[in-house]
A = this chain, B = another copy of it.
Amino acid sequence: MTDRPVDAGLLNPDWAGTAVELATDDAAYVRAMLDAETALARAQAALGLAPAAAASAVAAVAAGLKPDMSALAQRARTGGNPVIPLVADLTAAVAERDPGAAPYVHRGATSQDILDTATMLIAFRALSRVLDDLDRTADALARLAAAHRDTPMAGRTLTQHAVPTTFGLKAAGWRSLVCAARDRLAAVRAALPAQLGGAAGTLAAFHAFAAAEPGAGTGPASGAGDGSAGDLGLRLVARYAAEVGLAEPALPWHTLRAPVADLAAGLAFAAGALGKLAADVLTLSRTEIGEVAEGSGGGSSAMPHKANPVRATLVAAAARQVPALASVLFGSLAAEDERPAGAWHAEWQPLRQALRLVGGAAADTAELTAGLRVRPGRMRANLGLTGGLIVSERLAAELAPLIGRAEAKRALTEAARRAAEEGTGLAEALRADPAVTHALPQAKLRELLDPAGYLGSAPALVDRALGRTERS
């Protein structure tokens, strides 16, 4: 059995080689599991439940352990989780260095304590990468929104031109979603808890070892399972959480999976937030639209002219996958007993893959927004495609008080029909209607037909979204 790589990321251009890959690969999980074992030994030592020397030995050996990954993966099949063979390796290695320390490896813990804690560590580290990229993205979008606060472009609904908007408002909207994702994920990250409960979540083994071992649990560690604040188990959990650098859980959460569900929610939100931006970039990049382009589009070997929106494509692909992965994680909330037969195991890979997809998507989006090429000229040209129809709503509003609501509607509908049929613009068609020309002088009509003059609150909304104005 060799350390043959099963997967090196070949099917995952969305995250291969990004920071989140390193934070979530098998080696990172092994490292995090060993971190959990070290924290457990240290916490027990701190409470007098293990000799300080034993904790040191565990920590030292864990720091240097480099198990054969493929072998470990395959040995995990027997018991159904990777902690069992890893603990065996760690115990053997500790025994080799300090036989007296070996009994303190993993003592009192259950596999889920270690794997859940490791998963939270992985999530913490991966989310830190994600948050950095979301911050970079938000900054880039703030710059785009400010720069294009007043850049008119077509607002589109159900694929059709509706009324004008500005690219700044679009960018500000993207940013608001990115910031919302960041806020949700930051809150989730801050609450990620350590896991420690023992075989069935009662921490009973720690009491047993304390009771059995002469002198153990005395002094600072004393305290029966009597509900007092000094309960040994609770104190151990607190210390363990501090050692491993995660939040202290209120209860062991072997089958109370709020932390995993919160991760699912945050990751699905983030994937969708980035997916919105990607969906717009893909649309606006279309050959016929051409209003934006990725800084360095992906090429094609066969077609030298192509510059594909590759980053947006990969983000869109991630956004299609994460909600389904999240549905598995939410489904695992309904976990029976004190450890479920399947619901827990079903979390591992979907959670990792969701972290990776969001991590890759965040990196992609940061790169995309930093280099996005915006083409106000194309935006302006597209605004003219309907020959003025894009401001028909405005004309209706202006004409109504002048010639009556019904008459205004008739004039516009007729002009729109004629403009479409004859390929002329709305302006020309309206100019042929005496009712209109009578009511509106040419100059006024021209002014009303300028899309740049019908932006409504778009600039004000940009200012608010960027925090430039007080909320009214």
Contact = CB atoms under 8 A, between A and B. Distances in A.
A316 interface: yes
Nearest to A76: B13
Task: Kindly state the interface size class of chain A when it binds its partner.
Answer: 35 or more
The residue in A234, A312, A397 that gathers the most chain B C-beta atoms within 10 A of its C-beta is: A397
A398 B211 CA distance: 8
How many copies of this chain does the complex contain?
4
A177 B287 contact: no
A14 interface: yes
A182 interface: no
A80 B13 contact: yes
A108 B228 CA distance: 58
A458 B199 CA distance: 12
A198 interface: yes
Interface string A314-338: 1111111111111110111111111
A136 interface: no
A339 to B, nearest CB: 4
Contact of A12 (B11, B271, B349, B402): B349
Interface string A372-405: 0000000000100110011011101110111001
Contact of A10 (B76, B111, B341): B76
B228 A460 contact: yes
Nearest to A82: B10
A164 B204 CA distance: 9
Contact of A278 (B79, B164, B334): B334
A324 B328 contact: yes
Contacts of A108: 302
Contact of A17 (B77, B164, B390): B77
A217 interface: no
A92 interface: no
Contacts of A336: 276, 279-280, 282-283
